[in-house]
Amino acid sequence: MHVEFTAIIEPAEEGGFWAYCPEVPGANGQGESVEEVKKDLAAAIELMLDVMREEALKKASPLARREPLVFA
């Protein structure tokens, strides 16, 4: 399975670029080049998804089954 996110990249007033991902609220990045900002944003997306997972698991009932779903 192919997973894709959208990077909205804009020039920063102070130079370089900043970016955000509309599919993952709170994920944003910055960098001096487009490649750098994309790497920073990818790391932020990964971090936000981990945080979202941890928060969601805290809300699950202790009686709920937890099983991994793996997309190949």
Token pair 């699950």 in the structure block, residue: 60
Query: What sections of 1-72 are H helices per DSSP?
Result: 34-59
Inter-CA distances, 17 with 12, 26, 56, Å: 5, 17, 32
Full-model pTM: 0.84
Q: According to the model, what pLDDT value does residue 2 have?
A: 76
pLDDT digits (tens, 9 = 90+) for 5-39: 999 999 999 999 999 999 999 999 999 999 999 99
Q: According to the model, what pLDDT value does residue 17 have?
A: 98
Q: Which residue has the higher pLDDT, 71 or 36?
A: 36
